[in-house]
Amino acid sequence: MPSMHVGWSLWCAYAVWCALRASHPRSALLSWIFPLGMVTVVLITGNHYVLDIAGSTVLLGVSIAVRRIVALGLFRG
């Protein structure tokens, strides 16, 4: 089961990064501290395994790819 603790923090960081990368590129990179901290906390407290974290990262990547495909109009369903 993917870790939604990490998945949610990755999604938040991605959203902030997308919003700030054009106007404040250095500040946008700071958003990635949140998921790194979440990964650390989740592993230290034993809430999830490394594979759960990898699963949430893959899930977010697939979600972003699907959104881009749909936004570009490549999917006609």
Domain membership of residue 52 (yes or no) is yes
39-58 pLDDT per residue, tens: 999 999 998 899 999 999 99
Q: What's the pLDDT band for 23 if we cut at 50, 70, 90?
A: very high
Place 77 in a pLDDT band, splitting at 50, 70 and 90. low
Total of domains in the chain: 1
Q: What is the span of the domain harbouring residue 51?
A: 4-72
More confident residue, 46 or 73: 46
**Sequence letter at residue 26:** R
Residue 61 belongs to some domain of the structure: yes
* Average pLDDT of every residue of the chain: 92
Answer whether residue 62 is part of any domain. yes
pLDDT over 90, % of the chain: 83
Give residues with Cβ within 8 angstroms of 6, minimum separation 6: 35, 38, 39, 42, 48, 52, 53, 56, 57
Q: Is residue 77 part of a domain?
A: no
C-alpha distance from residue 29 to each of 1, 20, 37, 71 (Å): 28, 9, 14, 25
Q: Quick one: tokens of 22?
A: 């054009």
